[in-house]
C-alpha cells in the first residue's frame, strides 16, 4: 500500500492549460483525454463523480504509456492517499499509481477510487509489463502541479487534470 501524503506539503502551482484533445475514450463511468503541454503530456479525466474523474485521469496516465485495452486485469494493488485539498489529492493519487507501476513493473487498466473527505482509498488492477505486447511508448516520471485542477464541469460532472512528466 502506498501513502503519498507527504506530496501534499508542497505548494501548488496553478496554470491555465491550453486544451487540445488528442485522444479520448468513453468507458461506462466517464472519459479521458490527453492535452498538449510542451514536452510533457496533460492527462484529463471526466466523470459523473469526483471519484470517477480521478479513475479516468489514472486511465489517461496509463494511456500515455500504452494502449489501455492491451492491459489484462490480473492483479489488484491497493493505494491509499491523504491530502488537504482535491488538487493535491489528485497529484498524490497519480504519483502513487506511477510509483506502483515502477516498483511492481506493472501496467494498470482499471482503477477504483473511493473518496472519504481528505482520504482516497483506491485500487489499481493490471498485469506485469510485457515490452513485446504492451510496447511502452514512454516512461511517466510523475504527476506535476502544472495545470492541476479538480472542478465541476459545465454538465454537472467532474474534471480532474494535470500534466505528467515524461
- Residue 13 has a pLDDT of 22
- Residue 37 has a pLDDT of 61
CB of 138 closer than 8 Å to CB of 86: no
- Residue 31 has a pLDDT of 86
- Residue 26 has a pLDDT of 33
- Residue 34 has a pLDDT of 75
Please report where in the chains the cell 480521478 appears, as a residue: 54
- Domains present along the chain, CATH in parentheses: 5-15+25-165 (3.55.10.10)
Residues 6+ apart with CB under 8 A from 38: none
The Cα–Cα gap between 89 and 85 comes to 6
* E strand residue ranges, the chain: 21-25, 30-37, 40-47, 75-82, 106-116, 119-128, 142-143, 149-152, 158-165
> What confidence tens digit (pLDDT) does each residue in 98-130 have?
999 999 999 999 999 999 999 999 999 999 999
The Cα–Cα gap between 77 and 80 comes to 10
The Cα–Cα gap between 60 and 71 comes to 13
3-state DSSP assignment of residue 63: helix
| Positions of the chain with pLDDT lower than 70, given as ranges | 1-29, 37, 39
Sheet of 106-116: strand order equals 75-82, 119-128, 106-116
CB of 10 closer than 8 Å to CB of 75: no
Q: Which residues pair with 35 in a beta bridge?
A: 21, 42
Retrieve residue 87's grid coordinates: 488538487
Amino acid at each position: 500500500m502506498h501513502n503519498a501524503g507527504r506530496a501534499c506539503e508542497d505548494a501548488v502551482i496553478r496554470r491555465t492549460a491550453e486544451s487540445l484533445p488528442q485522444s479520448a475514450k468513453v468507458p461506462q463511468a466517464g472519459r479521458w483525454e490527453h492535452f498538449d503541454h510542451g514536452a510533457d503530456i496533460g492527462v484529463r479525466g471526466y466523470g459523473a463523480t469526483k471519484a470517477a474523474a480521478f479513475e479516468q485521469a489514472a486511465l489517461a496516465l496509463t494511456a500515455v504509456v500504452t494502449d489501455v485495452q492491451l492491459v489484462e486485469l490480473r492483479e489488484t494493488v491497493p493505494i491509499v492517499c491523504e491530502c488537504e485539498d482535491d488538487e493535491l489529492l489528485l497529484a498524490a493519487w497519480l504519483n502513487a499509481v506511477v510509483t506502483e507501476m515502477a516498483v511492481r513493473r506493472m501496467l494498470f487498466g482499471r482503477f477504483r477510487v473511493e473518496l472519504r473527505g481528505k482520504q482516497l482509498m483506491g485500487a489499481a488492477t493490471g498485469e506485469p509489463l510485457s515490452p513485446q505486447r504492451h510496447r511502452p511508448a514512454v516512461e511517466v516520471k510523475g504527476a506535476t502541479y502544472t495545470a492541476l485542477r479538480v472542478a465541476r464541469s459545465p454538465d454537472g460532472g467532474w474534471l480532474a487534470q494535470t500534466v505528467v512528466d515524461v
